[in-house]
Amino acid sequence: CNLTGWWKNDLGSKMQVFKVGNDGTFSGEYHTAVSSAKKPIQPSPLVGSQHVDEDGQCTFGFTVNWKKFSDSTAVFVGQCFSGDDGKEVLHTSWLLREKVDSEPDDWKATR
């Protein structure tokens, strides 16, 4: 699986991976289509790493820092699958951590 390029999810968010290094590290930008932040959405930097097996169906993870418009950070983990039609598809899970004002509010900070 080649992560380099543009990817789009079911909600209309897009991710661009600029280049994957020989060691599996990559960087790019995430263009989210959804946000609860009050500021206008802006493209956000991402950094990650992938692991490729012989079958080419890699696992990967990356972090997105929403610093341009929000006090939150998200982490994604997933796997790339190659379908019978040759189309590559990413399946991911994510966690989003929002900044809270105090430790007692910690319970509501992670989605």
**111 in any annotated domain:** no
Render pLDDT for 38-60 as a digit per residue (tens, 0 to 9).
777 889 999 999 997 777 678 99
Give the C-alpha distances (Å, rounded to integers) separating 62 from 85, 95, 104, 107. 27, 11, 28, 24
How many C-beta atoms lie closer than 10 Å to residue 2's C-beta?
Answer: 12
CB-based contacts of 97, cutoff 8 Å, min separation 6: 72, 73, 74, 109, 110
Q: What is the CATH number of the domain that holds 48?
A: 2.40.128.30
Residue 97: name the closest of 111, 80, 81, 76 by CA: 111
Residue 83 has pLDDT above 80, yes or no: no
Domain of residue 31 covers: 5-105
**59 in any annotated domain:** yes
Tally of structural domains, the chain: 1
Residue 58: name the closest of 82, 80, 86, 90 by CA: 80
State the pTM of this model: 0.87
- Name the band, by pLDDT with cuts 50, 70 and 90, for residue 14: very high
Q: Which position has the token pair 């991976």? A: 17
- Name the band, by pLDDT with cuts 50, 70 and 90, for residue 13: very high
